[in-house]
Structures are given as C-alpha cells and as structure tokens.
Structure 1
C-alpha cells in the first residue's frame, strides 16, 4: 500500500482531494477495527495498528506467516468453543474465496496467545467480517479480515446473567448467531421464492387476459355483424360463435385446473392399468393423425383417473398440433417407474426449448403459427399433475420428431 501524488486543486475556500492523492496505507493503518490483509492461502500480508496493539506483536513476526500459525487455537480451551472458533473462521475465509462475497461471522471466542508468555492464552471474543478484494477480472486476490473485539461486552453480559460456565456461554452465543444467520438466509430464500411466484402469476394473468380477449373480440364482432346486416347467414355466424365459446371454455378450464393444482387439492386415487387407460382415452378422441401404440400390460400406477386423463389429453393435443402424419404412444415398465412415451413425427423440440415448453404461457413461434388459438398452458398443467402424483414429465431428444416422457411410481400389485 503506497501513497500517491501530493497535488491538490482548489475550489473556493475548500480543497478537493482527488482519489490519486489518498494514502490508502495510512487509512488502513489507523482503522478502528482490527484489520488483517491475507492472501488466498491465508498468509498475512499486512495488518493495521489496532491488530499490532491487541496482539502485542511486531509486524515482522506476522507478515509472511499463515494466519493460523500467527494466531493458533488455544489448546487448553474447551473443544466445543475455541477449537470450533478456529474451524468457523477457516470456513468463513474459504466461503469468501468460493462466493466472492463478504461473510459476516457469528460472535465467537478466539483466544490470543500472549506475546510475552508463549503458551499462555488470553480469553477474547470477536465480531468478524471477512471481505474479498477482487482483481480486474473478478477473481479474489486478497481477503480483508476485519474484527471488533467484544470481550468486555461478553463479560458484562455474563455478569448480568449471574455468571456460569465460560465456554458454555460462548457456545450459546455462537449457537444463537448461527440460528439468526440461518433464519435470515431462509427468509431471503422465502422472499425470493415469493417474488418469483408473484411474477409468474403476473405473467400468467397477462397471458390469460390476452388469450381471453381474442375469442371475446370475435364474439362481439360476429354479434355486431349479425345485428347490423339483415338477411345474414345465421348458421355461419352461430358456428363461429360456437368455436369462440369453446375456445373461452378451454382457457377457463385450463385456469381452473391451474388454480386447483396450486392449491394442492387431491382427488381420490385408484389403481390404474396404463395400457387399458390409454386405449380408453384414445377411443374417446378423433385424432387428426394416425396413432400407433406399443402398450405393455400390467403396468400399473396409483393416480386420480380424472387428473391422469387430463394429463394424457394435454399430451395428445400437443402431439396432434405438431405431428405431420403419425403419433406413437408407448407404455413400458422401467422399475421403479411406469413409463409413458408420446412421440410425434413433427419438427421436434430444440434442446434450448425442452424445459421452456413446460413453462406457463410459453409457446414457441412454430407452435403459434400452427395453432394461434393455443393458450400455452397444456404442458404446464400436465407437468403439475405428474408432480402431484410423485412423477416427472420431460422432453428428450428424438430423431425425426418430439418425444415427451412421463414417469410415475410403478405399483407392483396387479390392477383389477
């Protein structure tokens, strides 16, 4: 740390000091908290006057040595206090290297060896912050350890509490600080999760409102035309109105499904043979592409029949939207999972979109072009239903089309 130039520039009656004129070494040296500058290997590079005063050491005895050699743990102290304090300090320094962020340590006991009496340690308590000093490319070049001694404060608290075992008191303080830090971290994580949920709901409401507006606009337009033009073909108008009403019904059904899933309501579950279930669901549909099936018998799952039908229906609708000529449905057992694969011979899903297609409201440009009426909620609902039943739904690489895989816990007992 070296002093920079000595020039100044005047401004009225005051003096403006530029950054290049600040003697950073002098600022560091006279800081009020104990400060030690370390390498990334925890070797002491420099320390301030407070550190020299509190430790009773000379700078020549410290520079170039490892911090834990300069300030070794007290071997006579209780294993659960002083030794733990050294471990916590090392862990904090390592965390700074890993995260490149400051770490606020819990108040802890860390005794200091007397400079005049080797092997004799003085009881000390510290409140410490370790901060990274970053290089030009964001790498950690040094670590600045700053610590306030709070020994007198701890002793005053101990006296106010009627005494007690020292090491037990120190351990209690460390435990309380750890609990506070964990609570703060959990609160931050909860807050972040809530913000993400709110933002997700905000996007969903926006997208749903946009999707609802289109059929409503169509309904209003057709009604205005029917009222304003005499002799109009009412059958044609009614068919259009019916399609728009069906579109509205589909969107509302999707939103209601999401609301039920988010509130974690569960319907009665039963034992379901996937092969028979797929056959029944296919019989209820009139697919626009040829459907080939490869269904192993006795592949059973425990699920809500209504929910599972919704899941399969959404997967089939998605496959029909993208298939050129053919859809395949495969049911197999792969213990501990029952596996259902739905394959289409459409354009496939690019690797970068294999997760995004399950996001609420997300629709690829190709999907919008093929079916402008889609809401982008079908695959999201299907995944939520899979999760509700302890399973997974995901897209995998497939040559010549798309493949979506459903895995649910396999039930070994025979389906009735």
Structure 2
C-alpha cells in the first residue's frame, strides 16, 4: 500500500468515505420536518438521535467491505448528536456504534465503550453548558472547543489502545505515533466542519420557524382585524339602515358613493349602490325639489369643512318636507367627502302649523275676550267713581275703596295674561341687551332715577320678550321703594358662563323671601311680575336669582350659559 508522508492512504480513504456518508446523512437532517422534531420535548432528541444513528450505521466499515474499527473515526457523531439535541441523542448514536462494533468483531472492547462514553459525556457537557453563565456564547467558539475535545478523545483512544497491546503508541489502523498530530488535525477539522453545517441548518430552521410563527401571527392578526372590520361594517350598516334619516355619502367630486335604503327612496336611487358611483348628488337632490334654487345656492357655497343645516324645510315635488344636514367625511385630518342627511319633518311641520293655527285662534279669542272685559271694567270703574262722588255715608266709603282696588287687581291680571300670551309665541333669537334695557327704561325716564348701563355691545340667545324682563325688574324696584335713585345693569364673567347683574340702591329683599319672590302669586301686588321674568328666561336655559343684601338694595344675577351669548 502506498504511504504518504505522515498520513497513510488507508486513513485518507477511510476519512473521505466516512465523511462523505456522514455529511450526506447529516444534510438529510435539514429535511426532517420541524413538526416532528418539535412535537414534544422527547421527540426532538429522539428524532435527532435517529438521523445521526442512521448516519453512524451506514458509515460502519463492514458495510463497505472494510476491516477498519467501527468506533474509530465515527466517534465524531456521538458528541455532535449530544451537542445538537442532548444526552438522549448521543446515547442513541453510541448504542448504534456499539452494536455495529459487536456485530463486526463479535465482542465489545473496553476501549470502544470508554471512547463512546467519553463522546456522550462531551456532547452532554456542551448541550447543558449553554445554560451556564460562564460558558462561551459564541457558536463558533463552541464548535472549535467541541472539535478539540473530539480530537483528544480520538488520540487518547488510539494511545490507550496501543498501550493495551504492549506496543509503542500507534494510532488506529496502524498509524505511526508520529502521525497522531495529522490525525488530530483531521478529527478536529471534520468535527468543526460538520458542526458548522449542523449549526447552519439549525439557524436556517430557526429562522424558518420564526418566519412561520410570524406569518401565523400576521395571519391571525389579519383574520382578527378582518373579523373586526366585518363586524364594524355590519354594525355601521345596520346603524345607518335603522336610522329614520336618509343618509348619502359623496366624494370630493360630488359623486354619490354610498347611501341607505331611506335615501334611495327619497332620491330615487337604486336599492344597492354601484361601485362606479350613482351620479352627482346635487343633480339628484335638485331633481326631487319643487324649487331647488336656494338649496343649490347654499350647497355650492359651503366651505369644505362645513357642518351645519343647509336648509331647514325644503319641499319636494311629492309634498314631503325635509331638513337637510351636511357633515364633512374625514379620515384623520383629511376631508374625503361629505355626508348628507335628509330628515323628514313633514308631520312635524303639519303639527306645528296646526298648533300655530289653534294658537292664533285662541289668541284672537283671548284678545276679543280681554278687550270686552277691559271695556266692562272701564265702565264699572266709571260707575264706581260716580258712586264715590255722590256717596255721603262714611261707612260705605271703605267698601267702595276696596272695590276700586279689586278692579285694579283685575286690570293688572288682564295685562299679565296679555304679556304671558306672547311668551314663546315667537322663536328665540339673538337679542341685544343694551337695546332691550334702554327700551325698558324709557317709560320711567320721568322718574327721579338714574339708569346706568355698564354693558358692552353683547347679544344673548333669548325669547324676544327679553325687554319685558328688564321692564318688570325696573317696575318692581320703583313700586317697592320710591326712594330709589340708581338702577344699574352690568356684566360679570364666570367662566364659562356670563352673568348679567341688575342692582338698585333700595331696601332689598328679605333673606327668607329670596326664593319665594319667583313663585306665582307671591308678593304684595299681583305676584306675577317676577314669575313672568323667570318663565321668559327659562325658555333658552337662562336662570335668575336674587343675591343682594337686605337694606342695601336688590341684586339679581341673570346667568347666561356658555353658547347662549356672543359679542357681535
């Protein structure tokens, strides 16, 4: 046999043959499904042990007509299996090698057993060592150390085998002692190379597992979000369909993109929207209106972010009356279109018209009745004055004076019904406080009273009878204290509200009467003036209370809530 320097051809042939078989079968490890290896904690080491055990079995020299030792170079597989999957894998591979050795030679040498046990321990050491704090974390360094350990096991085995034969130390398969160093290099290199291949396969599988897990996670999220979107869309559709308003969504170009069934009936649209749109919204809306001129004018002049009632009370050709709202459709800060709402107020308008007609008739009846009562009251008063003029009986004078006062009370009550009749008759609107107070104070200019209006040009949202509030306050101040010299109206800010202050320098109100003065019928006169004030203000949510100090004058605080006042 030809011998190369330092290395025999038998060694080379054995290394090449075994390495080829081992490398090929280890590469098959790449194709073992992870679903098998990761099924349980035991499945992984057993699966790895089977793959490496198959490689060990096929690399037994007897299968290829060779008489080389079974354990020898194949010992590399034992620590590699332990390195990858732990002691169980290493033990399975060791069992395969020992069975192969027994089948080849008919017995097991103590050296083979020792060598295999060293391989199992080495693999187990590196597998468990990964959890140790001081164990090297670098995979490359671990492979280098493993290769060194395998090489030492190989050399130690060869050396001990030579000693057991009482001969000079030689390596397996007749390798001279000076050739142990190349044998060390070969064992080290093959172990490192195979370990690198296995490490690459493991990293690749780990990356694939992570990708699959991430894909499953993403698919789960997508499925969950899809289900949530379907639920949200179904809920939104059900909500839109259940509303009594007709709802139309148009894009920035004015094309109808979505609508509910109510809107399809109003605008004569198909039951289901088309993907390409259902025409221009303004054209559709104009086609159903009796007179679309005003609607089109206001709709076309709307700013992009408009959120308001376009027209309240437009009449369609079929006689129905609608109130139209418009809202911007936004995605984040971007306006993508508009949402139009058609609210049918036909029945409401008919009811309002009926109530208005009935009120007008009742008001007319009240005016006629009140006029007739005033006429009769004037006649009774005139007759009473004639009786008083011709009366010479002192005992009857008291009765006649009481009758006269009763007639005056009746007159005041009739005047109150005339004022209260107009309460709420007209819609609330923006009223100027300065103008209302100035007009209310005009009838009292002849009195020796100074009226101070310390208010800016401010408007409040109130009933048109707001002037009656100031009139009753002034009249109430002068009736209860003729020595009043100053009446002042001013403003006081109490965020977020606005407080209107009415003050005089009269006697004021007793503490126990501050709440009672607003009750109907309370007071020395008719007891209706302050009650009317409270009723007028309450129409738009404005409140009033008396907070003055007795004997220092009255102080009425009229509180206007936020949104009900403005500075024009």
Give the TM-score, by structure 2 length: 0.28
Give the greater-gyration-radius structure (CA).
2
Higher RCO, 1 vs 2 (CA within 8 Å, ≥6 residues apart): 1
Higher helix proportion? 2
Higher strand proportion? 1
